Chain A
Amino acid sequence: MASVSLDHALVLAAILFAIGFAGLLTRRNLIVMLACIEIMLNAAGLAFVAAGARWGQADGQVMFLFVLAMAAAEVAVGLALAIRFRQSLKSLDIDDADEMKG
């Protein structure tokens, strides 16, 4: 099978990361923000895998496993926080949580 060049993979990862970051900044819904964070994480993982393939080492894929596990844990905690958020602030709009202003 034809191997994917590192550059292409990194560009894809960058684009994915940028999409995720942009989404993080612009979307106000907490769940969507969590999803965007996922995208960013996956983009980072893709970069790791591509690099691992380039150098022919398993480290890249091992890091991806780390990222995956961490993402799962983070989603779990994040969703739990989102539920508490919804309960106390009655909405999922992140801009409503500005009591730390000033």
Chain B
Amino acid sequence: MLGLLWLIPALPAAGFVLLMLLNRRLSRPAAAWIGAGSVGLSALVALIVCGSFIVSPPAGDSYHQVLWTWFDVAGFAPTIGFYLDAVSVLWVLVITFVGFLIHLYSTEHMEHDEGFTRFFMYLNLFVASMLVLVLADNMLLLYLGWEGVGLCSYLLISFWQKDPQNVYSGRKAFIVTRVGDTALIAGLFLLFTQLRTLQIQPMLAAAQHSFVPGSAVAVAAALLILGGAVGKSAQVPLQTWLPDAMAGPSPVSALIHAATMVTAGVYLIARTNVLFTLAPDARLVVAIVGTVTLLIAGFSALVQHDLKRALAYSTISQIGYMFLALGVSGWEAGVFHFMTHAFFKALLFLAAGVIIEALADEHDIFKMGGLVRELPAVFWTFTIGAAALAALPFVTDGFYSKDLIIATSLGSVDGSLWFYVGSLVGAFITALYSFRLVFLVFFGERHTEVTRRPRWRQLVPLYALATLSIVGGLVWMPGWVSGFHPLEDFLDTALPQLDLTSRYAAFADGTGGAFVTILIVAVGIGIAWLLWIPWRKSTHAFSESPAVRPLAAYWLGGWGFDWVYERVFVRPVKWFAHAARNDLVDYVVGGIAWLNVAAWRALSAGQTGRLRAYVAVAGFGIVLVLAVVVLR
């Protein structure tokens, strides 16, 4: 059964090829069947393979399948091979199932779009690339998947390519992530040179053997990998592309920019956790990056007008949580949060897509409102998603995973009070902004009428994801509730366990810490209700007041990162490209040509054509020669 592993990425890839070759000749239903069907089949195979893996784990808790050797140059021989362990099982299941639900949703959401087949073509290629990324057995193949998802992200963000703004957003995403990729590829050079292999498991074993913990080499390698992860996962300082990426269709935002591609960084760090274990300084940087990002993005999400942009900043913030967890050696906690986040964030984006479509492409939450009775199914599913995002205690999966991270940020041996406070503040802000969205979008007076309603192909994924958002956390109950944690046991086969041994561990991991978290979340939701239900007008007035307005604008603009990057990087390059467009060096070449012409002019001035002048010169010359000869 495990031998079917290669089919999981191959099926969507085949879907891509079919859709590409038969593009014009396919009817919409046919394209939908191929597009969604390939991913559905892949999900089925994933179920079989992963199920077999879970039920009867192979020796060493991992399965390795090599298809062929990519190339072999002087001992550098990466393979096209797939490696299955607990971590990749989790990612594969999320990608295929959530992916399938989103494909199903898209068959209805995009049904009026003229690029229907093209959409599924790109989406299939994306799923195939993402699966290659998480299943790759060596860093180079991982990088192939890495770039593949970047490409598809670009293609899908700029999907409605008639609008240059969309294309610009796509380009921005590709270029910013590529900056991170440069760091990653430098890391690959370093790793290969030091460890002589890029096959992941042998490489990590070699690292443990030959890297001195804390040495410059280990830290450099880990930091370079972090650089790549930061780009793909939209963390500070490379987070500026994700809000603009909302220019793409909502299914794209759900799949790529919430559930899967942006978590590739988390996967990468989890996969190479050995390197980070060997480099405590790098781990610290990861945790700091995570904390800073979750706070910055949280504040930005609080002031957004555009529904999808708010969700985008929320994604950045939640991934910050995952990075924080990874940075304090809470590998399994970060992975757990990835899973729960995939469910509720995809849910939120899909629901947002329905709302936007229902209101005839209205994105501004201040122009929504009063939708509780109009779109009840959407209301309930969206609220469940928002509640999970806010970590509503016990009944949402977000609570379990976020609480675990908060506990780990203090309780882990690498934890610190700063991280703890940061994560708590973040939780408060999250609760605030997620319910702000619920109250502004669904409550209050209706500003825009509903013109389209979702049908089953859009509703079923919403229900499915909502269900998962509720029960998904139950696979890892906290110690003080019950001893039921199959997910933790499963992940233990591939990742180091949580090392909750700091001074405050007892508090953090026990009822004390949980109580603090629950309190913060409850207060946050309560205040959100107050601000946007009874006191809505005063809240608006407050945010428009001269004291607050600049701050809100600053947060709205993403804390000025775009502004800085535009001035420091983009404009100088554009200026230079324009100023030098006729090629500076050509001025030198032209100068040589000009010198030639000038010399010609000077010399031909001497050719007057007049005999007397020639004779004079000749005479002068003769005299000179004679003088030299005679006077020697």
Residues of A within 8 A of B (CB): 21, 24-26, 28, 94-95, 97-102
Q: Given A21-B619, A25-B619, decide whether A101 and B607 contact each other with a Cβ distance below 8 A.
A: yes
- Sample (18) of A-B pairs whose CB atoms are under 8 Å apart: A21-B619, A24-B612, A24-B615, A25-B615, A25-B619, A94-B612, A97-B609, A97-B611, A98-B608, A98-B610, A99-B609, A100-B607, A101-B604, A101-B607, A101-B609, A102-B604, A102-B607, A102-B609
B611 A94 Cβ-Cβ under 8 A: yes
Q: Does B616 contact A (CB under 8 A)?
A: yes
- Interchain CB contact under 8 A, A100 and B609: yes
How far, in Å, is A19 (CB) from chain B's closest CB?
Answer: 14
Q: Are A95 and B619 also in contact (CB < 8 A) when A101-B607, A102-B607 are?
A: no
With CB as the reference atom, state the residue of chain B lying closest to A98: B609
Chain B residues with a Cβ under 8 A of chain A: 604, 607-612, 615-616, 619
Q: A26 to chain B: which residues have CB within 8 Å? A: 612
Collect the chain A residues with CB atoms within 8 Å of residue B619's CB.
21, 25
A sample of 17 more A-B contacts (CB under 8 A), given A94-B612, A98-B608, is: A21-B619, A24-B612, A25-B612, A25-B616, A94-B611, A95-B610, A95-B612, A97-B609, A98-B610, A99-B609, A101-B604, A101-B607, A101-B608, A101-B610, A102-B604, A102-B607, A102-B609
Chain A residues with CB below 8 A from B610, complex form: 94-95, 97-98, 101
CB distance from A59 to the nearest CB of B (A): 22
Inter-chain contacts of B612 with A (CB < 8 A)? 24-26, 28, 94-95
Chain B residue at smallest Cβ distance from A94: B611
Cα A26 to Cα B604 with chains together (Å): 23
Give bound CA distance, A4 to B610, whole Å.
41
Which residues in A have their C-beta under 8 angstroms from that of B609? Answer: 97-102
Give chain B residues whose Cβ lies under 8 Å from the Cβ of A25: 612, 615-616, 619
Q: Shortest distance in angstroms between A60's beta carbon and chain B's nearest beta carbon?
A: 21
Complex contacts, B615 vs chain A, CB 8 Å = 24-25
B294 to chain A: closest CB distance in Å?
Answer: 79
- B420 to nearest A CB, angstroms? 89
A21 to B615, CA, bound (A): 9
The closest CB in chain A to the CB of B605 belongs to: A102
User: Inside 8 A of A102's CB, which chain B residues have their CB?
Assistant: 604, 607, 609
Q: How far is the CA of A41 from the CA of B225 in the complex (A)?
A: 95
